[in-house]
Structure 1
Amino acid sequence: MRLLYYREDYREDGELSITDDLATNAIPPYAILSHTWGAKKDEEVTFDDLADNAGREKPGYKKIQLCGEQAKRDGLQFFWVDTCCINKANKAELSLAIRSMFRWYRNATKCYVYLEDVSIKKRKRVDTLSELTWKPAFSSSRWFTRGWTLQELLAPSGVEFFSRDWHKLGDRLSLKAQIYETTTIPYDVLEGASISNSSIDERLRWAQNRETKLKEDAAYCLAGIFDVDLAPVYGEGTEQAFRRLHDKIQSREDDIRKREDCLRDLRPTDPRNDKKRIQDTKGGMLEGSYRWVLDNSSFKQWHNDPQSQLLWVKGDPGKGKTMLLCGIIDELQKTLARTASVSYFFCQAADSRINSATAVLRGLLYLLVTQQPALTAHVRKRYDQAGKALFEDANSWVALTEIFADVLQDPNLDTTYILIDALDECATDMPKLLHFVAQQPSVISRVKWIVSSRNWPDIEAQLGQAGHRVRLSLELNAASVSAAVSVFIQHKVSHLAHHKKYRKQTRDAVFEHLTSNANDTFLWVALVCQELEKTAERNVLKKLNSFPPGLDALYERMMQQIDASDDAELCKQVLASIALAYRPLSLAELVVLTERLEDLEDEAEVREIVGLCGSFLTLREDTVYFVHQSAQDFLLGKATDDVFPDGVEAVHRAAFSRSLETLSKTL
């Protein structure tokens, strides 16, 4: 791609220059001009004119000058105009330019449309008022009748329209009503929705009644609209050009279907949905609870030092590791949206979909190829032969690690950030995952990793083998974590005070108790506030002292409350079923596995029982989850005798029997 620019001493009559042909990765930000060519052959400034420092006397020079001046006002040194930025004598360059045109317009920082047949005329009315008369001319402009200008309207992120005298008329958004009336292109497309969301027939209708100077261009100008690569063969005729275009479109549609099949089979879960579910379950993101990490010296070393490629965030249960990573993901996506990819995965031991090493790699790959579709080729190379079994058979781990390595070594891979939360909750093949992660930072420099876990010695030993590693211990950053927990407490108390209409005395007492007993643990605060949501204000002060500090102590108190309730046995059966399930259970599945739930009259009562299980469980839509992995750990550890009085095997046996009974009734 060649770009125009004026020398630094640019004046109105300064010298217009053109760059050499730039490689894709060397193209600076630029503006691009969309216009219609003059009727006469010699009106436009050509590539040869620029080479000979000529062409200023041509009518087409004015719009080049106006484009350059506008680009400079917009802070851009470089700009592109098709009349003179392509060496048309070089057939290979011309062919490549035609095939690259859609991408060049799409990647432009600014796109200016010059409407030579639209001017602003003013009619004086009552001395000072004037009436604009350009809108009819805008709708009937020749620019809307040309074939190539369709992609120039749709490819850029924004399009600005200028009159013959370079008065700005508006942009694609502000003029969408007039553009829609003229072109029938829907509002959502004009507002930036993906063109691919529109059907093939609809996109072809947009091109109806548009004209091109060369007959084959009627087909070639649509290649970008359909995201296909169509090499120009001038002289082949319109019919053959459209036949090739339709063949390319059909081939792409077939390829898209195969790609969709591949992505569907690759995806064990969509990590974006898991992130949203986790955030919703924990009450939403609170910036003040994670922003401290952005100024942390370990985080900044990892982020800014090219040699620091792996950051290990470690801390005890409930210290906010997961929400910390959610916040980091949000910050990376906000600040690096156009320059880097962010892929992430949240392990959860209680959910079989997302608690294995293969699930982690599948989820990470899924997000990577979703953001950078060209990377799908590395997956398809094997998937097209093996199908879904590639991701599920006994050799899936080997295949996935090889695919992942190919993706990370792809020379076209963007700078990439990979985050894995809760390595300790990878219940299946965690050593393999740890070994794989530890190897990567020393291999690919443009890929940076963040992992989080509890303070487990075996994880420490494995990650200790990684080169270029930075460690961020939440316990060693107690002051920052404490400040973040304080922000969280203020937020939760404000919500309680507003929702429960606390008096100042009650509000202050709740704040003081939470601050004094939280021990820098987000989860403890969340669980206590969840209990207070169910408590009338008159009983709050009395109840506060019953919340002991420490997660285990709080869990023990919750079990004592369950023991004292009228539904103690039923609640324990529910907790036992959930604790041993391979994945989170729906309400209907929970009823099948828990015999005494069948006696309840309706789903509302089942929901009530789930709600009575202390704060061990949370209900999202119709699925029951543990509020935190530490809750399941407590039930399977310190509370085993209480929850499984007849032993874990008895609960397994009962679940198996009831499952068989249900199958016999339904099959």
Structure 2
Amino acid sequence: MCRNSRSLESRSRDVLERLNIALYPYHKDRISDRIPGTCDWFVTHRTFKVWQESPKSQLLWVSTNPGCGKSVMMRYLVESVLTSNASRTVLYFFFNDDSEDKRSIVNAMRCILYQLFKQHPNLLTDKILERFETDDRITNSFSELWDILFLAAKQNANKTIICLLDALDECDKSGASQLIEALGKVYKNETANRNLKFLIASRPYDYIRQGLRPLMINGQSLIHLSDEGEAEMKDLSREIDIFIRAKVNTIGDQLQLTNEERNSLDKGIIGIKGIAEITSSLPQSVDEAYERILSKSTDAEQAKILLHVVIGAARPLSVPEINFVLTLQDDHTSYSDLNLEPDYRCIERIKSICGLFIIITYAFLDYSAKHWTAHLLASDIQMEPLNPSLLKLCDGHETLSRNWIRICWDNSTADVPYGYTSAILASYFGLVSVVQHLKNVANIDWKSKDTKHGRSALSWAAGNGHSAVVQFLTRRIWWRRGKGRRAVDSKDWHDRTPLSWAIMNGHEEAAKILLEAGASIDSMDQVGATPLDYAKCRRLHGLISNAKTIMVKLHSLGQLGMVIRKW
């Protein structure tokens, strides 16, 4: 009996050696630890809780775009959340496309079985041992290893077994397809093991989505974090902010930064020279990451066209507009020649072409709140009759105004002017008719600045390229005793003038108007740059030449002493 026992131990040890891939824990441990306050969006999500507590076998697919912290979350689940219950056995594999070994679905199954038999040696029964001993190639066969997983799970029916597979999109495509097909067979079978659950995380590539779609229809659990999940994305955005602040504190400790420097780093306030230096020397790994994403496109030429159109558009495009762009051919002579596919299929097509670079939002309220001013300015509508409504929208004390501004700037990365006045808001969005109307309002202070950036109405209009507003505001200005120069060269918290902002953002027409109003071309900001420096950086040679001509003209006319005319 003792000899038979030792023989069983020896046989089991041989099987474990054949299954073992020594570095599999490293694949997990190379992932960053969770920062407190992150991953909560997932572990508190109702769908996750239902899946976690369900007595039956279920598949949960978590799909998000790059950079959302899926792998950090999966490590957290493996090490803390799911292992907190002793009745569960947690098995895992983290795919990575930096080597063939980490891309292999067979290696994933070997690691899963190794962990299972290491934690529960009693599951290596004679029946399973014989399968390994009679087939030398069994450890190279996905289907054989898959069958053994389910055979072992049946022998341990009182214990829930959870298999976590991270970054399925980085598994080789044929292997991922094998897994998806095998899962499909399992979950279509009502007699499948009730104690075996799967949690898969990946990017939302079309071949994975299409493969799993029949299971979604069949009632399997799904959390799909992308542009569709607004509530999840809001929570995720908050957690990304937590992550950034934690990283800022780490960098601050390492470099012994002051609180002011940490705040500047946290807010992303970097001088133009710093931005140029950073963006001109991106790590090679960043380029490689984008190349890998693009390499998964189903149509590289269409991806090129689509990205050119999206980047070149003056505003976000709608799905029907993108549909039109992708369908239009050289031989089409009229709209009737187009055979446009339904929008829902176009959305799938966009995602398969370059889905990870394009976000599709479905809420028309969100879209209209963010972009109604762009549509209004591009239309032929007479503005004067709309002034009463526009004035309400630009009044920060109105509930209507607060609601649309909140939506417009919610989670925005733009430098929005908190602590704004009606004049600042109207100038920010280029609503010239409102600006003109406000000139008759007695208590409007045109030199007032927002509380976040210290920028005036003229600064915001110039920075956003609203030439008509800039023209109106500077037309009210003439020079006497230098007061007007202070108004047109009004500086924000970083000592940047309206001319600096116009040039930095490439708005030559607005810059020209400011120059003609006497704006200084050599006013220096806190990073030591002048409007002339910014013009050189953007290679606005025509503007530089024009500035010199205007300065000569102003000097010859003796207009350097103009001031603001009374409003």
Give the structure with the larger helix fraction: 2
Q: TM-score, normalised by structure 1?
A: 0.40
Give the structure with the larger strand fraction: 1
Q: TM-score, normalised by structure 2?
A: 0.46
